[in-house]
Chain A
Amino acid sequence: MSDAPERILIKGNEAVAFGAVDAGCRCYFGYPITPQNEIPEAMSRLLPEIGGCYVQAESEVGAASMLLGACASGVPSMTSSSGCGISLMQEALSYMTGSMLPAVLVNMARGGPGLGDIGPSQGDYFQAVKGGGHGDHRNIVLAPATAQECYDFMFRAFALAFTYANPVMVLGDAVVGQIKEPVRRTPPPDALAPERLAELAAPWRVEGRGRRGPGAAPRLVKSVYLAEGTLAARNRQLRDKYEAMRAEARWIAQDTDDADLVVVAYGSIARAVRSAIRALRAQGAAVGLFRPITLYPFPDEGLRALAAARPGRRFLVVEQNLGQMVEDVRLALFGPAGRGAEVLFHGLMPGLLADAQTLEEPVRLALAGKEIRS
C-alpha cells in the first residue's frame, strides 16, 4: 500500500460538501435546485454528525438570510444553489458585502435566462463576477474544473472569505457538479485552520457582549450608513479591500511559451479545450491554454504578461455562453501592440456537453486568423 492518502470516487457536488466540512464549515442553509442537490443532501448527513447545523430553508431568500446570521456569528457557513436560486440570494449577498461578512456561496450553474435548463452553462459569469448584488458590491469568484478542485477550492473559499471579511462565490456548472472523479480528501496548502478562521472573526462577530467580559461594549454588524459622509467612508474602506483582493488573482497557463494562439477558458470548458489543444499540438499547432482560477479578481496581469512576451500573439476565448468573460479578456488586453492583443471569441450553447474534437476546428481557425462561426 502506498502512503498517499486514499482517493474516493465522488461527484463534484459531494466534493464541495466534503471540502467545506473539512475546511471547518459548520452551518449550511439551502434550498433544493438541480444540478446541485448532492450538496445539501451530503450536508444534511455530514453536519449533524459533527455537531454542525443543516437547515433546509423555505426559499433561497431565506437560506441566504440565514447565512447572513450565521456569518455574523463568525461561524464558517455556506449555501449553495444554481442560477435562478442565486438570483434570489443577491439581496443577502449585497448586505453581506456591505456588512463585511465571510459568506461562502456555491453556484453549480445551469442554463438560463429564466428557468432555462438543468444542463451545464457558463451563462452566470456576469451574475457572479459583475452582478451579485446592488450597490458597490464585489465578491471573489473561484472557478473549479474538477471534483478535486471542488474539494480544494472550498478551503480557499473559506480562507479568502475570512481573510477579507467578504463573500466568496465558487462558480461551477452542471458538469463540474455532476462529474464523478477520484478525490484526495487532504487539505490543500492554502487552507487556513478552523482555529485561524475563528481568530479572524473574533474582533467583529456578534455573540452576546457578556462573552467578551463584564462591561464589554455591544457590537453592531450592519450595512446602513445614513449620516452624511459615513457611506462614503465605508465605501472607501470597501474600495481599499477590493484593491487588496487583487493580490489573490490566480490562473494556470499551459503550453503558452511557444503559442501563437492562447485559448482562454475556465471551468469544465477549460478541460475540453485542454484536450483539443493536446490533439492540435500533436499535429504541430502552436497553441496554449490560459485558465483563470479566480474570475474575480480577474487575472489580467497574467494575460498582459502573455501578450507582452510574444507580440502579435492572438487570444481566443471559449465559453459556454454568448460571450461574457470575453469582455474581461478584451479589457485586460486592450491597448497598443506590445501591450494589447487581438481577442477572438467562440461560444458554446448551454445544455450540451462540450466535445474536445469539435473545439479543434474553431481553435485552428483562430490560429489562422480566420472568422469563427459559433
Chain B
Amino acid sequence: MNNPCNALPEALRPREGESLVFDAPAAQVDRPTHYCPGCHHGIAHRLVAEVLDELDATDRAVLVASVGCSAFSYDYFAVDALEAQHGRACAVATGVRRANPDSVVFTYQGDGDMAAIGLAESVHAANRGELITAIFINNTVYGMTGGQTAPTTLIGQITTTSPAGRRLRGEGGPLRMTELMAGLDGVAYAERCALDSVRHVRAAKKALRNAFEVQIRGLGFGFVELLSGCPTNWHMTPQAANRRIAEEMIPVFPLGTAKNLLDK
C-alpha cells in the first residue's frame, strides 16, 4: 500500500536479493511522537494503523481526533482527519459517517474526553448504533493538563486534584465504560484490553480489528477500551506503570469481550 508520509531512506531500502520484512503500516506516519517515555499511545496508534491496513480501510479512513494528549494523534496517522471539540468526537464522527457512508470512521479519545465531558455524545452515538469505531484510552488521569482526577481514577488514587486520594462519596467511583457501552442496543462490539504486556497487546489488536469489522459490516458501533500507562502523571517508571495496570487497574477494570455481534 502506498504511503505518501513514509519514504524509506535510501540506505534502508532493500538491495538486490533482499526483501523488506518489517515496515511502518501505510496508515501510520513513521515519525517520533510527542508522547512521554513509557506512554502507551504509541502502541495503540501502531495497532490501529495495522488493523486499518489489514482491513484494507486506510484509503477510506477518517480519524476524528479528541482533546487531551491525543489531540495531535492525526500527526501519526496517514489518513484524512479532523479535529473535534473536547468530548464531541463521537458526535463529529456521526456527522462524517452520515455525510460520507462509504468511509471508515474512528475516534481516538482519552478518559476525560470520552467519559467526562463527552459522555452524552459518546453514549448516544453508541446507542444510535452509529457505524463508527471508538477507541478509548483509559489511564485514570487527565494527562495533558497535568494529572488531574478523571472519571476513571481509582478509589484512593492520589491526583493533583484529589490530594487525599479519590473518595467514592462526593467524587464518585471509576466509570466502567466498556460495561456501560455493552448495555446499549446500538453497540455491536465492546471489549476492554490492556497494553501492559505482549500477550495483552496481541489481544488488543484482535479487539480493535473486531471493532472495525462491525463498522465495515454495518452491524453497529464498535468500542475498545485500552488500559494504558501514564508514567509521567503516575510518577512511576514505565516498568512500574505496567505493574500498576496489572495489579491495580485490571482488578477494577476486568479485561474481556463484553459484547460481540460478529458471530451472530
* Residues in B45-66 with C-beta less than 8 Å from chain A: 58-62, 64-65
Asked if B59 and A209 sit within 8 Å, CB to CB, the answer is yes
Query: What is the CA–CA distance of A77 and B93 in the complex, to the nearest angstrom?
Result: 14
Q: Mark A53-74, 1 if CB is under 8 A from B, else 0.
A: 1010111011101111111111
Is there a chain A Cβ closer than 8 Å to B91's Cβ?
yes
Asked if A220 and B99 sit within 8 Å, CB to CB, the answer is no
Asked if A207 and B5 sit within 8 Å, CB to CB, the answer is no
Q: How big is the A interface, by class?
A: 35 or more
* Residues in B1-60 with C-beta less than 8 Å from chain A: 2, 4-5, 58-60
Closest to A92 in B: B85
Report chain A residues within 8 Å CB of B97. Answer: 69
Measured CB to CB, the closest approach of chain A to B52, in angstroms, equals: 11
Report chain B residues within 8 Å CB of A57. Answer: 91, 124
Report chain B residues within 8 Å CB of A69. Answer: 64, 82, 84, 91-99
Report chain B residues within 8 Å CB of A229. Answer: none
Is there a chain A Cβ closer than 8 Å to B74's Cβ?
yes
Is there a chain B Cβ closer than 8 Å to A336's Cβ?
no
Asked if A95 and B83 sit within 8 Å, CB to CB, the answer is yes
Query: What is the CA–CA distance of A311 and B18 in the complex, to the nearest angstrom?
Result: 87
Q: Which of B79, B83, B94, B96 contacts A99 (CB 8 A)?
A: B83
Measured CB to CB, the closest approach of chain A to B109, in angstroms, equals: 13
Measured CB to CB, the closest approach of chain B to A44, in angstroms, equals: 14
Report chain A residues within 8 Å CB of B85. Answer: 65, 68, 91-92, 95
Measured CB to CB, the closest approach of chain A to B132, in angstroms, equals: 10
Measured CB to CB, the closest approach of chain A to B196, in angstroms, equals: 31
Asked if B80 and A27 sit within 8 Å, CB to CB, the answer is no
Closest to A63 in B: B91
Query: What is the CA–CA distance of A55 and B186 in the complex, to the nearest angstrom?
Result: 15
Asked if A208 and B94 sit within 8 Å, CB to CB, the answer is no
Q: Mark A275-312, 1 if CB is under 8 A from B, else 0.
A: 00000000000000000000000000000000000000
Asked if B98 and A66 sit within 8 Å, CB to CB, the answer is yes
- Known contacts A58-B124, A62-B91, then 10 further A-B pairs from the complex at CB < 8 Å, ordered by chain A residue: A53-B99, A62-B88, A65-B121, A69-B92, A69-B94, A71-B95, A73-B62, A99-B83, A208-B102, A218-B79
